[in-house]
Chain A
Amino acid sequence: MALAKRRFDALIIGAGGAGLNAAIQLADTNLQVAVVSKVFPTRSHTVAAQGGVNAALANVSDDSWHWHMFDTVKGSDYLGDQDAIEFMCREAIPTVYELEHNGVPFSRLENGTIYQRAFGGQSQNFGGAQASRTCAAADRTGHAILHALYQQNVRARTHFFDEFFAVELLRDDEGAILGALVLEIETGEPLLIEAKSTILATGGCGQVYRTTSNAHINTGDGMALALRAGAPLMDMEFYQFHPTGIAGKGMLITEGVRGEGGYLVNKDGERFMERYAPNAKDLASRDVVSRAIVTEVKEGRGCGPKSDHVMLKVDHLGEEIISKRLPGIRESGKIFAGVDAVVEPLPVFPTAHYIMGGILTDRYGRVLTDQNDTIMPGLYAAGECACVSVHGANRLGGNSLLDILVFGRAAGLNVLNNTPASHRKLTDSAIQSAMARLERWDQTGTGLSVRELRDEFRRTMEDHAGVFRTEVIMQEGVNKLLALRDKLPDVRLQDHSRVFNTGRIEALELENLFDCGIAMAVSALHRQESRGAHSRPDYPERDDANWMKHSLYYRAEDRMDYKPVTTEPLSVDSFPPKVRTY
C-alpha cells in the first residue's frame, strides 16, 4: 500500500507556546504551514505554567532589559550564552506587548498597565534591590497565553494536525531534514509530511523521572528525534528539581510554604534540614534541600509504608495563616494527597521540573550539529526542547515562558525569510528508515512489556541521575541504563490494533525517553564540577578553568564533545564570571 503523503512549506511539530508562536509568524503569509501535535493544542503543557513571564516593562519597579540580562547571566551560573541572553531580554518587551495585543488577559495595575510580580533572582541595578519583572495573568499565565495563541491561530486558519504523533524525522543522505513521518493517532495510519523547513517545539522530558511536575506527554520526543537525526543535545546534565512535589505525584508545593515557616521532618519526626544546612535550614537552595530529602529516604528514614518520602509540616502555623496565605496548597493537599494541611503534614519528595539543556540551536532557532556551528539544513528547534542557551546551568522562574515565546517567534520569522524555493527530493531510504521505527512495533510474540521497562528505567533515572550525583552513583546508573537500553529490542506490544492505540504511542515514547535519559546521565557523569543545578558532592566547586563550556552529547557511541560558552553579548559589555551568592 502506498504511503499517504502531504507537502507543506513548513512543518511545526508541537503546539505549546513555542510552536504556536512560531505558527503565528507564518499565519498570515503565503507559506503553507502544518502544525502537528500529539494532543489538542490547548492540552500542551504550557497550560500548566502559573507564575508568569519576565519582561522589563517597568510597570511596577524601575527596570531595564540590561538588568534582566545581568540576572539571567548570573542565574545561569555563567554557562548561558550572553548573545542569546541579550537578545531574549531585549525581545521580552515587545514579545509581552504582542501577547497582550493577541488577547492574553493579563492582570492589571490601577493605571491599566500589565501587572508584574516579584520572582526569585530578579534585581534592579545589577544585583541591587528586588525587581518586579514577572508579567502575570493571576496564577494561570501559561493557560492564558496558550489559549490566546491558539485562538489567534484559529483566526489565521493555521492548518492543524491534532492528535498526530511525530515518529521520526525524514533525512536525506546529505543530512538535510525533509519533514517527518507522523502517525494519526485516531486511525493508526502513518502519514509522510514533506516540508522545506521543520521546527521542533516538543517541550520537555520530565517523564524520564518517576516523580515530576511535567505532564504525561512530556517525553522528550523532539530531542530524541533530533538526536537520531545526528544532532547533539547540549547541557543535558542540567536538570532542575524542585524539592517539594507531592510525594508519588509530583505536583508542586510552592517554596512559599517553607517561607511561611513550614519545615521538613523524617520518620522520626526529626527536623533534618538542621543537620544539612544549620543556617538556612529548610530555606537552603533547591538543590541542597532536594539532596537532603533523597539522603533521608536512602538511609531508611523516609516516611510512609514504603519509606519513600518525607513530611512537610505546616499544621503548626494554624488554620488562619494557612487559609490566608496558602489556600492553594491546602486545596492541592486535599485533592492530591488526601491530607488537610491544617491538621496533618504533607508527604513530599523532590520533583523533576525543567530541562535546561536540549537541542543545540543558534538564536535564529537553527539546529547546529557541532562546536563549529555547522547548520543542519531544514531543521529548527525552539522552546523547552531547544538549548540556545539562555538558561545555562540554572533557569530563573519566569524565563522559560519567555524563552519559548521569543525563540518560537525567532524560528518562525527565520523560516519565513529563508524558505527555499523547492523541496529536496524525498528518498526511499529516508522513508524506509523512518518507517522501520514504526514497523518494529508490529513484531508479535512474547517479551517484556513497555510498562515493565519504563518503570525500571524511570526508577534508575531517579536513583542515579537525580539530585544526588557522585561518580560512583552515576557510573552505576549509566551502566544500568545502557543495560536496560539493550533490552529495548525485546519489548513487545500485545495489542496491535490500529485505532487510538495508546499502547503503541507509549512504546514510541519509551524509546524517546531512553534517548533523552541516557543523554542526561552520560553528560552528567562527565562534568566534574558543581555548577547550577548540577551539584556534585565529589566536586563541590565550580571550575571555570576547565568546565566553563557546554557539553554536547551525540547518540552515536554515546560520544561527548564540548563547545565554548559565548561570553560576548551583542552590544553591551560582557558580564565576567563571579561567585554566585544571593
Chain B
Amino acid sequence: MQFLISRYNPETDDKPHMQAFEVDVQRGMMLRDALLDIKRQDESFAFRHSCGEGVCGSDGVNVNGSNKLACITPISELKTPIEVRPFPGRPIIRDLVVDMTQFYEQYKKVDPWLVRKEPAPEQEVLQSPEDRDKLDGLYECILCGCCSTSCPSFWWNPDKFLGPQALLSSWRFLADSRDQATDERLDQLEDPYKMFRCHTIMNCVESCPKGLNPTKAIGNIKNLMIKKAV
C-alpha cells in the first residue's frame, strides 16, 4: 500500500515535500507500524513515538487532514491515498516532528497543579466518589496536542489564546473539590484572548483521541464565571 509522507530536512530542503513509500500492510496494523516500516526503509525519516498504545501522547500527526495518534489509528480505517503530514500550524523541525513549545507554554500558563492553602493533613485530603467523578473526562488528557493544533483560533493566536488543551486542564483543577484557587484561576482567564477566542468550532472535540471534550470544559468555565459574577 502506498503512503505519502511529508518530508523536510532543514539542512537540505527549502520547504516540505511529499514522498511516496510502499508498505506491506497486514491485518491489524496501525499507522505507527507503517511509519516504523518506512523508518526501516529510510533511516533519515523522523517522527516521535514511544508507548505504542495511546498513552504517552508522542505520535500525533495529521492524516488525510485530521489529527490523530498514529499508534491507535488502524490503517484499515483510512481512505487511500494516505497522506501523513505534521500537525498544522506549528513550526516544522523535521519531517513529522513539530515544535510544540508554545503548546506546552500555554499549558503551564493555567497553573496546572493542585493548589492547597490549608496545611496538608497527615493522611489523604478526603474527596467523595461523586466529587472524584467530576474529574473523569478531564484528568486523562495525555498532552498530545491533537486538539489545540486543530483549532483555528489557536492557529491564529497561539501566543494569546490558551487553546483547548490548556483550558481543559484549567477546568480539571477548577472541578477538583480539593483545589483552593478557584478565584485566582478565574481571574487569570478574564482577558479578551485567553479563553474568549474560542468560537465553539469543535475541531478539538473531534480530534481528541481520548474522547475528551475541551469545548464542554470551556463552557463550564464560562458558566462558573457568570455564576461568580452575580
Interface residues in chain A, defined as those with a beta carbon under 8 Å from any beta carbon in chain B: 39-40, 42-45, 47-48, 96-97, 100-103, 105-114, 137-138, 140, 143-144, 147-148, 151-152, 154-155, 186, 215-217, 249, 251, 332, 335-339, 449-451, 493-495, 497-503
Contacts and interface: CB of A to CB of B under 8 A. Distances in A.
A155 B111 contact: yes
Interface string B110-136: 011110100010111111110110011
Interface of B: 9-12, 27-30, 39-40, 43-44, 46-53, 55-58, 72, 74, 76, 93-95, 97, 99-100, 104, 108, 111-114, 116, 120, 122-129, 131-132, 135-136, 139-140, 142-143, 176, 178
B139 A147 contact: yes
Nearest to A305: B26
A42 B143 contact: yes
A176 to B, nearest CB: 33
Contacts of B97: 500
B50 A45 contact: yes
Residue from B93, B124, B140 whose CB has the most chain A CB atoms within 10 Å: B124
Nearest to A332: B53
A338 B52 contact: no
Nearest to B96: A500
A107 B140 contact: no
Given A43-B56, A143-B140, A451 B113 contact: no
Contact of A47 (B56, B116, B131): B56
Contacts of A155: 111, 113
Contacts of B12: 497
Nearest to A155: B113
A138 B114 CA distance: 19
8 contacts: A39-B50, A48-B51, A114-B124, A143-B55, A216-B50, A339-B28, A500-B46, A503-B43
B206 to A, nearest CB: 19
B132 A105 contact: yes
A105 B134 CA distance: 10
Contact of B50 (A43, A137, A140): A43
B45 to A, nearest CB: 8
Nearest to A98: B120
Contacts of A109: 129
Contacts of A103: 113-114, 176, 178
Contacts of B50: 39, 43, 45, 215-217
B94 A499 contact: yes
A498 B10 CA distance: 10
Contacts of B140: 140, 143
Given A147-B139, A450-B43, A495-B43, A97 B123 contact: yes
A500 B48 CA distance: 10
B53 A48 contact: yes
Contacts of A217: 50
A155 B48 CA distance: 26
Given A143-B140, A186-B93, A499-B93, A154 B128 contact: no
A211 to B, nearest CB: 12
B74 A251 contact: no
B228 to A, nearest CB: 23
Contact of B9 (A105, A148, A499): A499
A135 to B, nearest CB: 9
Given A186-B93, A502-B46, 9 more contacts: A40-B58, A43-B51, A43-B58, A45-B56, A112-B126, A113-B126, A114-B124, A151-B113, A500-B95
Contact of A105 (B55, B139, B143): B139
Contact of A100 (B52, B99, B124): B124
A249 B46 contact: no
Given A45-B51, A105-B132, A338 B27 contact: yes
Contacts of B125: 100-101
A144 to B, nearest CB: 6
Contacts of A186: 93, 99
A105 B132 CA distance: 7
Contacts of B99: 186
B93 A500 contact: yes
Contact of B124 (A45, A97, A249): A97
A337 B100 CA distance: 31
A43 B99 CA distance: 16
A249 B30 CA distance: 11
A522 to B, nearest CB: 29
Contact of A39 (B11, B58, B111): B58
Given A108-B132, A143-B140, A338 B43 contact: no
Contact of A498 (B11, B58, B74): B11
Contacts of A501: 44, 46
Max count, chain A CB within 10 A of own CB: residue among B74, B108, B113, B126: B113
A152 B44 contact: no
Contact of A48 (B9, B44, B55): B55
A40 B140 CA distance: 17
B57 A42 contact: yes
B112 A151 contact: yes
Nearest to A338: B28
Closest 9 CB pairs of A and B: A338-B28, A103-B114, A112-B126, A495-B44, A151-B113, A500-B94, A503-B43, A43-B56, A100-B124
A423 B76 CA distance: 57
B127 A451 contact: no
A144 B139 contact: yes
B53 A251 contact: yes
A70 B210 CA distance: 40
Contacts of B100: 40
A101 B28 contact: no
A39 B97 CA distance: 13
Given A97-B122, A497-B11, A500-B97, A449 B56 contact: no
B56 A48 contact: yes
A556 B132 CA distance: 53
A425 B48 CA distance: 37
Contacts of A495: 43-44
Contacts of B44: 494-495, 497, 501, 503
A338 B53 CA distance: 14
Contacts of A449: 43
A47 B51 contact: yes
Contacts of A154: 108, 112-113
B43 A494 contact: yes
Contacts of A450: 43
Q: Which residue, B10, B12, B139, has most C-beta atoms of chain A within 10 A?
A: B139
